[in-house]
Amino acid sequence: MTRRALVTGAGREGGIGEAIVRRLTDDGFEVVTLDKEPGCTWQLDIARDELPDFGEIDVYVANAAITTLFGAAHTFSLEKWQLDLDINLTGTFRVLQQCLAGMRERRYGRIVVISSTSGTQGMPAQVSYATSKAGLIGMVKTVAAENVRHGVTANCVLPGMTASSGILGMPEEIKDAWLASLPNGFVDPADIANGVAFFASETSGMVTGQLLTVDGGDELNTRSVTSSVARR
């Protein structure tokens, strides 16, 4: 039986969504896509536009998000705050809600939400982004708990600094500063897709409400004056 997967945020070339689509297609899924940009099955704004009839969706991969709003918390505008929450959190939930009813009825579903390490660690100068990504974690754990007896799983993948088109398009000095702080460099989008593929598989039915961090070890306490000794 061919399972059908919906991947949002799949329109950007070189992005995480593109890597997820490629991996799920290779794994035998029928993949349909959604993005605000052209080139996908559906082109729309998940926060504001009327959602189409997606048909039967077995796997929902929530990847659509914006990452471009910056500012310190004490001066951050409410307009920018609301935009991040509208797209990253409310938009994700709107699509999830539409897919979930059918999953429950068929007693099968895989919900995989792309959160971020900023949702557990914070992100200076991106208070609304970090808050929206933290909210996704609470949403996933709640949906997992409500559907644990209905054949539907819900899990999060938390990327660290990933070599997507957005990061690679940053000025060289910013990229160099990031790379100097990362123990294994930028994460490849394919590594995020690998985590999604596990949660999306039929064999992961006993795994739900979980967070998988894919950051090359960045969250580990590896910065020390004696770190060179410890690595010998």
Q: Which DSSP state fits 46?
A: T
Q: Which domain holds residue 84?
A: 4-230
DSSP character string of 120-141: HH--TTBHHHHHHHHHHHHHHH
Report helix, strand or coil for 154.
Answer: strand
Q: Are 197 and 175 in contact (CB under 8 A)?
A: no
Give the count of domains, the chain: 1
pLDDT band at 33, cuts 50/70/90? very high
- Residues 179-215: tens digit of each pLDDT: 666 666 677 899 999 999 999 999 999 999 999 999 7
Question: How many residues belong to the chain?
Answer: 232
Q: What positions carry a catalytic annotation?
A: 129
The predicted pLDDT at position 31 comes to 98
pLDDT in tens, 179-189: 666 666 677 89
pLDDT at residue 66 is higher than 90: no
CATH of the domain at 73: 3.40.50.720
Q: What is the pLDDT of residue 186?
A: 74
